């Protein structure tokens, strides 16, 4: 099998090369993101494209890939909002993904963001390096006893709920599918509105779908508590960022931590330190002292990278043998 990787970073090369020892496939790594300009980079004989979260897989691009001989889209990610599944199905091009790869990685990163934001670790780090040992402005609050609202209690949200229960928080959640094990552990389910209204901290763990796009918007923010902490490690499109900027300016949102951003494909995973950023919403967002941003690194642990590489190659092996993959994305 000849597999072409788009958006490949050095860590992709490292982990996929290691996992491939078992398979012996031919792997070719391109650092470019997949878009309409570079489908021509597919070489004869390559039948699989391995793509990541910001690679574009819309109908015209899928068609171009198909015409170049690609027969399988292997996502090395859980989310598949960047793929036109209908177009892929009409080309009879299966799409496989890695549904779960250390959900602990993302849940723990969410907790890291919350703790860092609340206790101002990012400020303290800089202060100490400047020999400034004062505490003014570093005040946080006890998480113990606070109400944490979780939207989406799948693999990642469930682990996040359990960690927050361990902190002694009250955890309320909204998901169409209630998890009885979480209920038994002490999570109470409520409507999305009730979660927005009651939570001191809100964390988003649902996928990006037409139903969840801009789930956090001016209307839902208005329902939230004054000073609410908002966390998003799922997908940028869950948040209407200009509305959040307005709420940060007014103080209605007390702090924001995000690992994802709606327009992240233009920014994340690139070194733009010498560039002029053209995205004014982003530029405003990073000026707030109560905003912490990481560039989509929630998944970035040794365990998750190992699992991603192994599951992706397993998915490709299933395709090669004509076997159905349990990880195929269906419409
Ligand atoms: P999952 O499929 O296990 O869980 C998603 C949950 O969201 C499900 O329980 C589902 O019922 C629920 N849901 C769907 N629509 C909803 C809605 N409208 N309102 C409330 N709940 C809804 O997915 P997961 O593995 O827990 O991942 C969650 C999301 O995290 C992914 O979709 C992905 O976007 C994101 N993610 C981010 C990173 C990162 O590095 N930051 C890594 C992996 C996944």
Candidates 46, 76, 109, 264; catalytic one: 264
Choose one of 175, 236, 257, 293 to mutate for the ligand 1 pocket test, by most ligand atoms within 8 angstroms of C-beta.
175
* DSSP assignment of 148-179: EEEE--SHHHHHHHHHHHHTT-EEEEE-SS--
pLDDT of residue 100: 85
pLDDT of residue 324: 86
- Residue 233 CA to ligand 1 centre (angstroms): 10
Q: Where are the alpha helices (DSSP H) in the chain?
A: 10-19, 59-67, 85-90, 103-118, 121-129, 155-166, 180-185, 192-198, 218-223, 241-250, 280-285, 302-321
Within a domain: residue 330?
Answer: no
153 CA to centre of ligand 1 in angstroms: 8
**CA 155/CA 71 separation, integer angstroms:** 29
Q: Which atom of ligand 1 lies nearest, measured to the CA of 156?
A: 26
Within 6 A (CB) of ligand 1 lie 78-79, 100, 103, 106, 151-157, 174-177, 205-208, 211-212, 233-235, 259-260, 296, 298-299
CA atoms of 168 and 184, how far apart (whole Å): 15
Please, which residues have CB within 8 angstroms of residue 321's CB and are 6 or more apart in sequence? none
Count, residues in the chain: 331
pLDDT of residue 310: 97
Phi/psi for 149 (5° steps) reads -105, 130
Q: Look at residue 54 and tell me if it is in a domain.
A: yes
Provide the domain count of the chain.
Answer: 2
Cβ contacts of 279 within 8 Å, gap of 6 or more: 263, 266, 267
Same domain, 143 and 245: yes
- Residue 50, domain extent: 2-101+301-320
> Is 150 found in the same domain as 268?
yes
Place of tokens 């779960």: 100
Residues 148 and 269 placed together within one structural domain of the fold: yes
Same domain? For 117 and 93 the reply is no
Residues 237 and 254 in one domain: yes
Query: Per-residue confidence at 3, pLDDT binned at 50, 70, 90?
Result: very high
Asked if residue 114 and residue 83 are part of one domain, the reply reads: no
Q: Which of 183, 186, 205, 203 is nearest to 195 (CA)?
A: 203
User: Same structural domain for residues 137 and 24?
Assistant: no
**Claim to verify: residue 263 and residue 161 sit in the same structural domain:** yes
- Give Cα separations from 260 to 32, 98, 130, 313 (angstroms): 20, 18, 30, 26
Same-domain status, 128 and 276: yes
The model carries a pTM of 0.91
**pLDDT of 131 strictly over 90:** yes
The verdict on 123 and 221 lying in the same domain is yes
Ligand 1 centroid distance, CA of 234 (Å): 7
Which tokens go with 44?
């004869």
Q: Please enumerate in sequence order all residues whose Cβ is within 8 A of that of 54, keeping only pairs 6 or more positions apart, or say none.
A: 7, 33, 82, 264, 265, 268, 269
Section 167-173 average pLDDT: 98
Residue minimizing CA distance to atom 18 of ligand 1: 212
CA atoms within 13 A of residue 136's CA, in its CB half-sphere? 2
- Position 63 scores a pLDDT of 98
Give the CA distances from residue 105 to residues 101, 102, 154, 250, 261, in Å, rounded to whole numbers and listed in that order. Answer: 8, 5, 14, 33, 19
Residue 329, domain member (yes or no): no
CA distance to 92, 314, 315, per residue, from 44 (Å): 19, 23, 22
pLDDT band at residue 166 under the 50/70/90 scheme: very high
Q: Are residues 88 and 124 in the same domain?
A: no
Q: Which CATH number do you get for residue 192?
A: 3.40.50.720
Determine how many CB atoms are found less than 10 A away from the CB of residue 253.
26
Residue of 46, 235, 265, 310 marked active site = 235
pLDDT digits 0-9 by tens, 132-142: 999 999 999 99
First to last CA, the chain: 26
| Residue 261 belongs to a domain | yes
Q: H or E element: which one contains 29? A: strand 26-29
Query: What one-character DSSP code corresponds to residue 232?
Result: E
* Whether residue 264 lies in the annotated active site: yes
Would you call 296 a catalytic residue per the annotation? yes
Atom of ligand 1 nearest to the CA of 259: 41
* Nearest alpha carbon, ligand 1 atom 2: 154
Residue 154 CA to ligand 1 center (angstroms) comes to: 6
Q: How far apart are CA 280 and CA 178, in angstroms?
A: 39
pLDDT tens digits, 179-234? 999 999 999 999 999 999 999 999 999 999 999 999 999 999 999 999 999 999 99
Q: Above 90 in pLDDT, residue 101? A: no
Residues 210, 90, single domain; the answer is no
């Amino acid at each position: 099998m000849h597999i072409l990787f788009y958006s490949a970073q050095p860590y992709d090369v490292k982990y996929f090369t290691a996992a491939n020892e078992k398979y012996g496939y031919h792997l070719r790594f391109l650092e470019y993101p997949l878009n309409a300009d570079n489908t021509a980079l597919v070489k004869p004989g390559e039948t699989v494209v391995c793509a990541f979260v910001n690679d574009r897989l819309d109908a015209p691009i899928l068609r171009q890939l198909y015409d170049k001989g690609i027969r399988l889209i292997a996502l090395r990610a859980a989310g598949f909002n960047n793929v036109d599944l209908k177009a892929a199905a009409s080309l009879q091009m299966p799409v496989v993904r890695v549904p779960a790869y250390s959900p602990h990685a993302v849940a723990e990163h969410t907790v890291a963001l919350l703790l860092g934001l609340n206790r101002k670790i990012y400020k303290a780090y800089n202060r100490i390096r400047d020999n400034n040992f004062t505490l003014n402005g570093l005040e946080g609050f006890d998480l113990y006893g606070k109400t944490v609202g979780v939207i989406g209690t799948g693999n990642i949200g469930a682990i996040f709920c359990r960690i927050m229960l361990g902190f002694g928080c009250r955890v309320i959640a909204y998901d169409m599918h209630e998890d009885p094990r979480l209920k038994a552990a002490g999570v109470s389910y409520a409507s999305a509105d009730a979660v927005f209204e009651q939570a001191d901290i809100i964390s988003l763990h649902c996928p990006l779908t037409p139903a969840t796009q801009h789930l956090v918007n001016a209307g839902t923010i208005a329902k939230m508590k004054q000073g609410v902490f908002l966390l998003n490690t799922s997908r940028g499109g869950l948040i209407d960022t200009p509305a959040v900027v307005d709420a940060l300016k007014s103080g209605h949102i007390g702090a924001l931590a995000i690992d994802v951003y709606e327009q992240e494909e233009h920014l994340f995973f690139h070194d733009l330190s010498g560039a002029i950023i053209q995205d004014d919403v982003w530029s405003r967002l990073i000026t707030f002292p109560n905003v912490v941003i990481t560039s989509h690194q929630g998944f970035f642990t040794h365990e998750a990278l190992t699992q991603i590489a192994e599951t992706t190659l397993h998915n490709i092996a299933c395709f090669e043998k004509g076997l159905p993959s349990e990880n195929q994305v269906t419409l």
